[in-house]
Structure 1
Amino acid sequence: MKENYFIFFSNCIPVYGVEYTAICDFQNGKIHHFDSNLKELIQLIDSRISLKQLENRYIEEKDGLANFLHYFYEKGIGMYTNEVESFPRLPIQWDHPSKVTNAILDFGIETDYSVKSILDELDYFRCKHIQLRFFEVIPLQILHDVLSVFKESDVLSIDLIFNDDIPLFELKKLYLVTSKINSVTIFNAKEDQIVGNLPFLISYLNRKISNEKSCGLITKEHLSTGLHLFMESHFHNNCLNRKISIDKDGNVKNCPSMNWDYGRVQTGNLKEKILQALNHEVTQIKKSEIEVCRECEFRMVCTDCRAYLEKPSDMYSKPLKCGYNPKTGIWEEWSTNPIKKDAIGFYALKHII
């Protein structure tokens, strides 16, 4: 029996930009990119019209239509069917049981805030995932002391970031302190290397990272095929919503790179400061509201950055460290773009470029 419809799988969702289209395949972790010539066809397939209607629309291009449908089929993007109603679309919705989904804690040589007091409050907000970043060389005993505090917390996973090459045998010892370690990333390593035969993943990266100003980079490699991020991006700022950070000086922030804070951990009511951060309007700035991003086909799979902006005075400005142009479909080096020169100076980023 001949099928009357060709539809995209529910896990393959198109996002339309001003010129290009991205079909996000969340089951296979792929992003398929198409130029403007296919935008109308993808929209028609997405509307779930019949094959007969499609063929009538492309009556003079039947061979081309058949080729593209075969391509979509071979790539696992769509299928032929007579039972469209049996394949409902994924509902666009997002929520999370935690008031704080994850937190970042930065450490320096002179960091003196109480990790335990922070964890006590984060447990209240049901925060289960924490990233610890050490941009300076920290004595291993201090690191062990920090990790030991997590034994009694409700945190489920810890991601560690270091700026110096720690011997593998020392990293293995960390797991003996707490089994909650999920991953370790080491920058400034001699070469890129992945160690995956341990209870946690270790990534050695031959890339320089100096401090929190190294954050906010947006490249093709940073695009995410996580359904959670895709859904959250429709309703909130996917980089700041329900996120909390403590910088190395103990200041409560939405992000360590932000130029404002809500006061220090050591003074006043920490719970109130966290609530202030969670309720700040910046956490609700969506990609669909941001200049340039709102025209981009990658806007739902790209982590946003409100700390470094192309126009520092405009909170709705394009992320400074993004070099993609949705009108041309070209990725360029962001740091050499003359349009960004003033903003690079404003944020004092020259030394990390």
Structure 2
Amino acid sequence: MSKLYLRNQLCIPVMGFNRAIVYDLGRKDYHFISKTHYHILNADGFLNFDGISDPSERSELINFLLDLEIIFEVASAQEEKRFPKLSKALHQVNELTHAVVHVNSAINFIDLIGHTQLQNLSIISPRLDDNLIKIMKAFAHLEIDSIYLYIEMFDAESFDQYKREFASQTALFSVNFFGLDRIQTKLKDNIYYNFFTQNFDDYQQLLTIDKLFVNQEFFLEAYNKHTYYNGKIYIDQHGNIKNGLNNIKSFGNINLMGYDEFHQTINSKLFLELGNIRKQETLVCQHCEFRYMCTDVRVPQKEAAYWFHRVECAYNPYISKWNNEESYLTLKESGITVAESGCIIDKYKLSETFNKIWTE
């Protein structure tokens, strides 16, 4: 009698252009698999491994998946109903969940936000000083799950001076400094202190492999929405309301708005448009195996049937390479042309390029 296997519903197979990934949402990890194995795992009922003709390959795959608890064996067909399919629906109570503000525009933002509960608040400041501490304390009466500070210039004397103040802020999750000699992270008083070599302007535009997140909440958001723009508001140094740090378009100025106008603005269809973009509808991203774990800060554009980016990502899914890896090539160098009208793939050039990269 053949053994019966079901896929762990918290292990989601996702197809990329060259390979697939199993997102292990429970363990916050991921595992690469082949496209052939993706088609076996992409089922909610019993899995059929009979398509693998080689018995040793079939046995090796099953043992690999069992060891990682991606699949499990059941005793009878009747047990299938005990393991319901995972819903991929997103249940979002508030349209606004993430806010990014500069320290000099924060006070007016506090007055307008009212009793809205925020999951994350990021405060950008050129330096550590008394004004930043004052602003942080002004947010204390609001319902905020986590606060992130981004300090553009590091000063060791100020850092030592204000660490005690940071420890008293229960919602403070991390303090991030830029322009240092080396990257490091320290954990003290349940606060992460991160030190980056890039300046802040460069950091905010980069997608790197350490900005990939695997968990159930993030996956459901990425499957249904744009994880960077969904629920986000950015208030620049002058009080202009934007969707994100790299956006040019302004939706008005908080210094000139009352409470009602502000909330009408951030709940308008135009303001919410970018947050409703799905990666499946975006050129190149739709072919990327990392699309449901990625926080992409680039500004999407749409001039025809598809959303696309004029700025290229740090990862090229057509050759499975990050831009800091050896043999990385741009999309154009790989035989990929992205334009408003769609994505054109020179299959011969791409195949030749891919084989040269991965067989050398």
TM range (shorter): 0.7 to 0.9
Shift of 1:193: 2.6
Specify the alignment match of 2:280 in structure 1: 288
Q: Distance in 2 between matches of 1:192 and 1:179?
A: 25
CA contact (8 A) 2:246 2:297 kept: no
Paired residue for 1:54? 49
Residue in 1 that maps onto 2:7:
8
Query: Hey, what does 1:331 align to over in structure 2?
Result: 322
In the alignment, structure 1 residue 157 sits paired with structure 2 residue 146: yes
CA contact (8 A) 1:246 1:253 kept: yes
The 5 Å alignment of 1:116-131 reads 116-131=107-122
| 1:277 CA displacement | 3.8
Match of 2:199 among 195, 209, 217: 209
Correspondence 1:237 to 2:236 = no
What's the secondary structure of 2:12's corresponding residue? strand
Cα deviation for residue 153 of structure 1 reads: 2.3
1:102 equivalent in structure 2? 98
Aligned ranges for residues 1-353 of structure 1 at < 5 Å? 4-34=3-33, 38-47=34-43, 50=46, 53-55=48-50, 57-58=51-52, 60-82=53-75, 83-107=79-103, 111=104, 113=105, 115-134=106-125, 136-137=126-127, 140-167=129-156, 168-175=159-166, 178-205=169-196, 207-211=197-201, 214-269=203-258, 271-278=260-267, 279-280=269-270, 281-307=273-299, 316-318=307-309, 320-333=311-324, 337=330
Secondary structure of residue in 2 paired with 1:105? strand
Q: Which amino acid aligns with 1:21?
A: A
- Residues 121, 195 of structure 1: alpha-carbon distance in 2 compared, 3 angstrom cutoff: same
Alpha-carbon offset, residue 215 of structure 1: 1.8
Task: Confirm or deny: 8 A CA contact 2:282 2:308 kept in the other structure.
Answer: yes
Equivalent pairs counted in the alignment come to: 323
Q: Which shows bigger deviation, 287-296 or 91-100? A: 91-100
Partner Cα distance (2:242, 2:211) in 1: 23
Match of 2:342 in 1: none
Aligned partner of residue 109 in structure 2, secondary structure:
helix
Q: How many angstroms apart in 1 are the aligned matches of 2:168 and 2:13?
A: 45
Cα displacement (A) at 1:292: 0.7
Give me the TM-score of the superposition, normalised by structure 1. 0.81
Which structure has more strand as a fraction of its residues?
Answer: 2
Tell me how far apart the structure 2 counterparts of residues 338 and 238 of structure 1 sit (CA, whole Å).
23
- The Cα of 1:7 is off from its aligned counterpart by 2.5
Measure, in 1, the Cα distance between the counterparts of 2:205 and 2:13. Answer: 25
Gap change, CA 1:154 and 1:116, over 3 Å in 2:
farther
Give the superposition deviation at 1:105: 0.6
Counterpart CA distance in 2 for 1:41 and 1:180 is: 43
Cα deviation digits, residues 20-75 of structure 1 (max 9, x gap): 111001111111112xxx32333223325656x523x33x3111111111111222
The Cα of 1:273 is off from its aligned counterpart by 3.7
Q: Deviations over 1:94-151 (max 9, x none)?
A: 12223311100124xxx3x3x33312332433224211112x235x121122122123
3-state SS in 1 of match to 2:36: helix
Give identity over the alignment, percent: 19
Cα-to-partner distance string for 1:252-303 (whole Å, 9 max, x where unaligned): 1111220111121111235434543443222211101100111112111112
Distance in 2 (CA, whole Å) between partners of 1:261 and 1:48 is 44
One-letter amino acid of the structure 1 residue matched with residue 228 of structure 2: C
Native 8 Å contact 2:26 2:215 kept in 1 = no
CA RMSD of aligned residues (A): 2.9
Give SS of 1:266's match. helix
Distance 1:76 1:255, change over 3 A: same
Cα-to-partner distance string for 1:310-345 (whole Å, 9 max, x where unaligned): x897881147251322222222259984959xx9xx
Contact 1:20–1:39 at 8 Å: present in 2 too? yes
Query: How many Å apart are 1:240 and its aligned residue?
Result: 0.7
Deviates further, 193-202 or 97-106? 193-202
Instruction: Describe the shift of the 1:50–1:76 C-alpha distance in structure 2 as closer, same or farther (beyond 3 A).
Output: closer
Deviations 1:183-230 (A, max 9, x none): 11112223333221313221222x22243x642322222211022121
Q: CA–CA distance in 1 between the matches of 2:329 and 2:238?
A: 32
The 3-state SS of whatever aligns with 1:224 is coil
Aligned in 2, Cα 1:258/1:319: closer, same or farther, shift over 3 Å?
A: same
Equivalent position of 2:352 in the other structure: none
Deviation of residue 234 (structure 1)? 2.0
Shift of 1:181: 1.4
**What CA distance in whole angstroms lies between the structure 1 residues aligned with 2:83 and 2:252?**
50
What runs of 5+ residues in structure 2 fail to find an aligned partner?
A: 339-360
TM-score by length of 2: 0.80
Matched position secondary structure for 1:230: helix
**SS where residue 151 of structure 1 aligns?**
coil
Instruction: Tell me which residue corresponds to 2:358.
Output: none
